[in-house]
C-alpha cells in the first residue's frame, strides 16, 4: 500500500482540514506531471497510438489552471491505469506514473506515486544487473525539478514513506 492509512495533514488541503494551500497543491501536481512525463516515452514506444497516459498528464496542467474539475482529472487517472494493465515492464510503470500524476488533483499524497512509478519505469528499462543503479539518476533528476516552495515537503514525505515506496527514494 503506497498511501498511508493516516493522512499527513500537510498533504491535505485546507478545505478538508489540512494545511496544504492551493498554490502548493498545484505545484505538487505540476511536479508529479513532470516526473510522469519524463518516463512517458517508455509507454509510447510500446503503444504509440494510445494517448491514455499522455492525456492525464496534460489534464493535470488543465486542472492547475482551473479549466477542468478534480473529477475530470481523476477520471483521466483511471484511463491511464487501464492502459497500464494492458502492457508490462517499463511501459506499465510509466502509465501508472501518469495515472498517479493526474490523481494528485484528488489527493496531493499521490505526488510520490508519480515519482516512484517513473523511477520504476527507468529501472524496468535497464538491464537486470543495472536496475538498482538506474533509478538513482532519475530520483536525482526529479529532486532537481522540485520548486523551492514544496521542496522540503516532498523530501520529508519521501523520507517518511520511502519504505512503502520500495526504498526508491534512498540516497
- Domain limits of the chain? 21-165
CA torsion, points 152, 10, 37, 102, in degrees to nearest 10? 180
* Calpha distance 105→99 (Å, rounded): 11
Regions of the chain short of the pLDDT cut 50: 1
At residue 171, the pLDDT reads 58
The C-alpha angle 78, 82, 83, rounded to 5 degrees, equals: 120
CA atoms within 13 A on the CB side of 3: 14
Question: Among all chains, which residue has been given the C-alpha cell 515537503?
Answer: 153
DSSP string, 13-28: BGGGTS-B-HHHHHHH
* Calpha distance 136→171 (Å, rounded): 8
At residue 168, the pLDDT reads 92
* Calpha distance 171→167 (Å, rounded): 10
DSSP string, 87-106: --HHHHHHHHHHHHHHHTTT
At residue 1, the pLDDT reads 47
At residue 160, the pLDDT reads 92
Amino acid at each position: 500500500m503506497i498511501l498511508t492509512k493516516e493522512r499527513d495533514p500537510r498533504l491535505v488541503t485546507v478545505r478538508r482540514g489540512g494545511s496544504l494551500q492551493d498554490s502548493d497543491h498545484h505545484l505538487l501536481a505540476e511536479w508529479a506531471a513532470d516526473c510522469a512525463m519524463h518516463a512517458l516515452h517508455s509507454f509510447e514506444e510500446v503503444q504509440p497510438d494510445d494517448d491514455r497516459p499522455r492525456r492525464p498528464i496534460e489534464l493535470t496542467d488543465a486542472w492547475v489552471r482551473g479549466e477542468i474539475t478534480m473529477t475530470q482529472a481523476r477520471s483521466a487517472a483511471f484511463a491511464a491505469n487501464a492502459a497500464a494493465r494492458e502492457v508490462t515492464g517499463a511501459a506499465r510503470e510509466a502509465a501508472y506514473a501518469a495515472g498517479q500524476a493526474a490523481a494528485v488533483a484528488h489527493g496531493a499524497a499521490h505526488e510520490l506515486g508519480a515519482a516512484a512509478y517513473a523511477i520504476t519505469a527507468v529501472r524496468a528499462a535497464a538491464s537486470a544487473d543495472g536496475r538498482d543503479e538506474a533509478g538513482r539518476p532519475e530520483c536525482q533528476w526529479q529532486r532537481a525539478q522540485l520548486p523551492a516552495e514544496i521542496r522540503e515537503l516532498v523530501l520529508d514525505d519521501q523520507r517518511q514513506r520511502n519504505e512503502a515506496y520500495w526504498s526508491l527514494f534512498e540516497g
